[in-house]
Amino acid sequence: MKLFGVLGDPISHSLSPVMHNAAFKSLKMDCEYHAFRVSTSALYNAIHGAYALGFGGLNLTIPLKEKALEIVRPVPLAKEIGAVNTVDFKKGITGYNTDGLGARMALEGNGIRIRGKKVLLLGAGGAARAIALTLAKEKADLTIVNRTADRAEKLAYDIKAGKIRAGSFEDLKELVMNCDILINSTSAGMYPNISETPVTSDMMNSDLTVFDIVYNPVNTLLLREARKAGAKAIDGVMMLVYQGAEAFKIWTDIYPPVDVMEKAVREKLL
Query: Which of the residues are catalytic?
Result: 65
Q: How far apart are CA 235 and CA 106, in angstroms?
A: 9
Strands 232-234, 209-212: pairing is parallel
How many angstroms separate the first and last alpha carbons of the chain?
A: 30
